[in-house]
Structure 1
């Protein structure tokens, strides 16, 4: 058995391990909640979900959209009392009902299972009012053979302020690209993204594929530092 947390894990990876008789259970936690919030249990799981809340804990979705997706909020004895000597940050994070606002986006199904859709600070919101979750698209792109890393973001135009385009910036895995004998990576990834776009509504489709020669900048825990990425498209 493997218990997974810290980052999203594609369902096909879980299914592949399951085919070999190895169970992977997804869970969700955050430091301010000491840290476990939800988890799947052995023989008590739901595909795509990160589980149900642990005992003595309340979950709610703040400001849900038409799909029931909004910010995940947690209340319970495991939630911190506040940030050390920082009452302003504490007041911003914990509301008057005692719910901690995680900054993560998700939804609860009718049986109380939680599904993560992204981070509030990463959310792409264009003029059409539709929400685009970069993590959702990154998860789809993650299955492309030869892809090493990918970040999806809203491109920023210096000359056309009203231009709105979803960008997929990709770092190809050099070893896998050699094994696949890919001679034109740009054309290859554009074709693969085009296949994915066919199953997406027009407002969510990826409009620009950008390749990079090196890995994305990361912090000490090896998470990509999105704020260090140049998002200009002209």
Structure 2
């Protein structure tokens, strides 16, 4: 069984149970004051295994399934069998890293709570984009004709997320999306260089350059 499938099953099971168990939600949700005052650091991770509702869960896990299975295989292609464990480390640490800016901003904000795997899923998606910058990506509800190269999709996604984050309002933690995405790329660059002797950044830039030159 793949790491992706295990995470997906665990996340779905925990989220579904939490839908009808408010105490479980309160125990697992990302709540900065609980971390600041009670040192409940585990909330950085556990909040990624619960979701607000079925659509929230379905969208995150559908996106994770589409990209995660492929990224996990690519990790094993780059690093060998141990690659799947690097993939797991990326996912778990992304849950933490994507929320650090949010935590710094809301350390003592008793009205702030956050949940969902979006930050870690963003790390997986952007790892895919980084490894396949020219692969067409589009929105779920649009036909294939509207797909654009992954690196362009990623750029537009980050620009839009940054705008929405600065605008504020709503219940979506756009900051987690941004930092999760950035972390997925940085993590991959570093471990590929350290443990596989590969310069993936140069490979990415060359692919993007070839696309730009062709136009």
Q: How high is the TM-score relative to the length of structure 2? A: 0.29
Greater share of residues in strand = 1
Higher relative contact order (CA 8 A, sep 6+): 2
Greater share of residues in helix = 2
Q: How high is the TM-score relative to the length of structure 1? A: 0.28
Q: Which has the larger radius of gyration?
A: 1
